[in-house]
Amino acid sequence: MNPEPSDIRDHLIAYLDGEIRDEVLRLRVENALAEDPELRREAQRLAQSWNALDAASPEPCIPADFTAQVVRRARLERGPVDGSHRPRLVGWPLVAAAVVLIGLAVWLLRIRSDGALHEKSLPLTRQAGMLEADLEVVRSLHLLEDLDWLEENGLRLDLGHRLEMLSLAQAQYE
Amino acid sequence: MTEPHPPDVGVALMLRVQSGDMEAFTELVDRYKASVLGLIQRLVKDRTLADDLGQEVFLKVFRARERYRPLSKFSTWLYRITYNCALNGIQSRERGRVVSLEGLRADGESSITFPDPRRTEPIDEIAGTELRVMVEGILDRLPANQRLAVELHKYEGLSYRDIGEALGCSEPAVKSLLARARQHIREKLGPYLREKVI
């Protein structure tokens, strides 16, 4: 059975491009070309017009420093990786430094906080110091031994209690 | 016996780029810059824009190095990037100007001058520059995907299968694109084709 001309024309360009891999179809096109002069003329026109496109293919103009420019920009961009946006290893030292700084800041705050506590306790010491003479007097009454024992065992007395104890000692002394 | 596939130099270079080899990237740019710039220059017709887009193509290749997988020919992958870059470049340029006056008359018809069809000289006797302008005029008026298919097949020598991979369409779709494009070109150039005795 002879193939329909329109069917063959659909494959003519692929045939001219060497893109028909189906052996049977390729033979059908070749037979049609051998039998049909008009189809041969059409194939010739297609080939000629395709060849005419060579006229529009001037050599590309390539800037002399094209490669150098691209490579320089690539080196500058070397950090981020398109698409993945993963944190790179170079970022980890920054994260570690940030953690250390935060830790340091917290530590310093605690130190200052402790310092503040000491400062708060200073008036107590000072007031207790002012009473030092009296304390020497009352030491003999062994009341301060109780005070020292309490502090040694982690039981801090506030200023009110300490003064209260000293007053009590003084009263007893008097 | 089946012939072994020739080694894909582009793939080999890209894998070296992936491992951080900048020398390989330099070699890659050197090897493919003519194809990339040639294609873009033919498409955008603007040297400065074409150079910028060409650089952008290779930078995209570089940025994509870590997720690159050699699933197809390197050139096919590269042309896909080039195609997308060129298309974006053209679209940006078109958005930047209200009306393109190049080659258009007020009535929207092409003002590109074709040789008088009553002239008798065949296409191979038309002066080079005149023929080039004529052919470029015909190519410029093809739909974008037909134009790309023609560019990749005619000037870059890609097979239908590779063009399909580059343009993201099937092989039959490429066959159809090229058939329509070539039929259009043949019709436009028909009056100048020399009839040979067969």
The confidence score (pLDDT) of residue B29 equals: 97
For residue B105, what pLDDT band results from cuts at 50, 70 and 90?
very low
From chain B, the residues in CB contact with A22 under 8 A are: none
What 8-state DSSP symbol labels residue B104? B
Q: Look at residue B37 and tell me whether its pLDDT is greater than 90.
A: yes
The confidence score (pLDDT) of residue B30 equals: 96
Among candidate residues A129, A126, A133, the one with its CA nearest the CA of residue A170: A133
The CATH number of domain B1-99 is 3.30.465.10: no
What 8-state DSSP symbol labels residue B110? B
The letter for the amino acid at B142 is L
Sign of CA dihedral A134, A140, A141, A142: positive
ipTM higher than threshold 0.85: no
Among A100-109, B18-27, B51-60, B149-158, whose mean pLDDT is lowest?
Answer: A100-109
From chain B, the residues in CB contact with A63 under 8 A are: 51
| A174 part of a folded domain | yes
Mean pLDDT for all residues in chain A: 72
The confidence score (pLDDT) of residue B101 equals: 36
Measure Cα distances from A166 to A134, A146, B172 in Å: 8, 11, 105
Q: Look at residue B180 and tell me whether its pLDDT is greater than 50.
A: yes
Question: Would you call B55 and A69 a contact, using CB atoms and an 8 Å cutoff?
Answer: yes
Which of A52, A68, A90 is where one domain is finished?
A: A52
In angstroms, the separation between the Cα of residue A27 and the nearest Cα of chain B is: 19
| A168 part of a folded domain | yes
* Tally of domains within chain A: 2
The confidence score (pLDDT) of residue B184 equals: 93
Phi, psi of B17, deg, nearest 5:
-60, -40
Question: Would you call A81 and B139 a contact, using CB atoms and an 8 Å cutoff?
Answer: no
Nearest to B182 among A46, A75, A83 (CB): A46
Q: Look at residue A35 and tell me whether its pLDDT is greater than 90.
A: yes
For residue B109, what pLDDT band results from cuts at 50, 70 and 90?
very low
What 8-state DSSP symbol labels residue A61? P
From chain B, the residues in CB contact with A90 under 8 A are: none
Q: Look at residue B24 and tell me whether its pLDDT is greater than 80.
A: yes
Query: pLDDT tens for residues A52-63?
Result: 888 877 788 899
Rounded distance between C-alpha atoms, residue B80 and residue B163, angstroms? 9
Rounded distance between C-alpha atoms, residue B8 and residue B18, angstroms? 15
Question: Would you call B160 and A19 a contact, using CB atoms and an 8 Å cutoff?
Answer: yes
Rounded distance between C-alpha atoms, residue B35 and residue B152, angstroms? 10
Q: Look at residue B171 and tell me whether its pLDDT is greater than 80.
A: yes
Q: Is residue B16 within 8 angstroms of chain A, CB to CB?
A: no
Q: Look at residue B71 and tell me whether its pLDDT is greater than 80.
A: yes
Q: Please count the residue pairs, one from chain A and one from chain B, whose beta carbons lie less than 8 angstroms apart.
A: 127
Q: Is residue B22 within 8 angstroms of chain A, CB to CB?
A: yes
DSSP B145-190: HHHHHHIIIIIS---HHHHHHHHTS-HHHHHHHHHHHHHHHHHHHG
DSSP A99-142: HHHHHHHHHHHHHHHHHHHHHHHHHHHHHHHHTHHHHHHHHTTT
Rounded distance between C-alpha atoms, residue A153 and residue A131, angstroms? 23
The confidence score (pLDDT) of residue B127 equals: 62
In contact, A136 and A167? CB cutoff 8 Å:
no
First and final CA of chain A: distance in angstroms?
A: 141
Q: Look at residue A129 and tell me whether its pLDDT is greater than 60.
A: no
Q: Look at residue A155 and tell me whether its pLDDT is greater than 90.
A: no
For residue B195, what pLDDT band results from cuts at 50, 70 and 90?
low
Structural domain including A44 reads 5-52
Q: Look at residue B120 and tell me whether its pLDDT is greater than 60.
A: no
B54, burial (CB in 10 Å: exposed 0-12, middle 13-18, buried 19+): buried
| A-interface mutation test, from B44, B135, B139, B174, most A Cβ less than 10 A away | B135
Q: Is residue B29 within 8 angstroms of chain A, CB to CB?
A: yes
The domain locations on chain B are 1-99, 111-193
Rounded mean pLDDT of B51-56? Answer: 95
Q: Look at residue B169 and tell me whether its pLDDT is greater than 80.
A: yes
For residue A163, what pLDDT band results from cuts at 50, 70 and 90?
low
In angstroms, the separation between the Cα of residue A78 and the nearest Cα of chain B is: 8
Q: Look at residue B31 and tell me whether its pLDDT is greater than 50.
A: yes
The CATH number of domain B111-193 is 1.10.10.10: yes
